[in-house]
């Protein structure tokens, strides 16, 4: 599989427990795709909703195409997600539960098509975030020690 990463949402892994992942396509205009090829996207604070049996992505900012004309796209418009009907139904029932959200994790090109990886997420509490930071620091320290040991043996 040839995948070219456009952007990813590192903050999502810090703020949420990701339980399931889904891959979806998006309905985009031509200038949006050209802007994405230039890497002009920001998915901070974006989320997905299910309305009338369709999934929509909110707050995904795709900057206007610099060589576009008056037909350029609105950077913060709501975009329709392309998912199977069964997946949408399953996601809708999960999102209605307390604390669950549908959060975009990464945006990428796959075989020339724009795809978005969505995660069914449950919000973390402050103590969970602190615990994750402690684990991350411990892993970094251990890696540093092994790196220093490797240099002394040479």
pLDDT values of the chain reduced to their tens digit, one per residue, 154 residues = 578 999 999 888 888 889 999 999 999 988 888 889 988 899 988 999 999 999 999 999 988 887 777 777 778 889 999 999 999 999 999 888 777 899 999 999 999 899 999 999 988 887 777 888 888 889 998 888 888 887 765 5
Instruction: Give yes or no: residues 49 and 37 share one domain.
Output: yes
User: What are the structure tokens assigned to 44, written together?
Assistant: 């901070």
Instruction: Give yes or no: residues 87 and 112 share one domain.
Output: yes
Instruction: Give yes or no: residues 67 and 116 share one domain.
Output: yes
Note the pTM of the prediction, 2 decimals. 0.77
Which range marks the domain in which residue 86 is found? Answer: 3-123
Q: How would you class 32 by CB atoms within 10 Å of its CB: exposed for 0-12, middle for 13-18, buried for 19 or more? A: buried
Instruction: Give yes or no: residues 83 and 147 share one domain.
Output: no
Helix, strand, coil share of the chain (percent; to 5): 35, 35, 30
């Amino acid at each position: 599989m040839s995948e070219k990463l456009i952007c990813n949402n590192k903050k999502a892994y810090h703020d949420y427990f990701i339980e399931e992942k889904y891959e979806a396509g998006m309905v985009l205009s031509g200038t949006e795709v050209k802007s994405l090829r230039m890497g002009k996207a920001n998915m901070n604070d974006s989320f997905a909703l299910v309305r009338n049996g369709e999934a929509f992505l909110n707050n995904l900012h795709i900057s206007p195409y610099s060589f576009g004309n008056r037909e350029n796209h609105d950077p913060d418009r709501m975009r329709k997600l392309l998912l199977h009907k069964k997946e949408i139904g399953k996601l809708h029932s999960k999102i209605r539960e307390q604390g669950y959200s549908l959060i975009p994790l990464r945006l990428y090109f796959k075989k020339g098509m724009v795809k978005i990886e969505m995660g069914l997420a449950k919000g973390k509490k402050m103590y969970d975030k602190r615990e994750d930071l402690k684990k991350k620091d411990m892993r970094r320290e251990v890696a540093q020690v092994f790196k220093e040991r490797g240099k002394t043996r040479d």
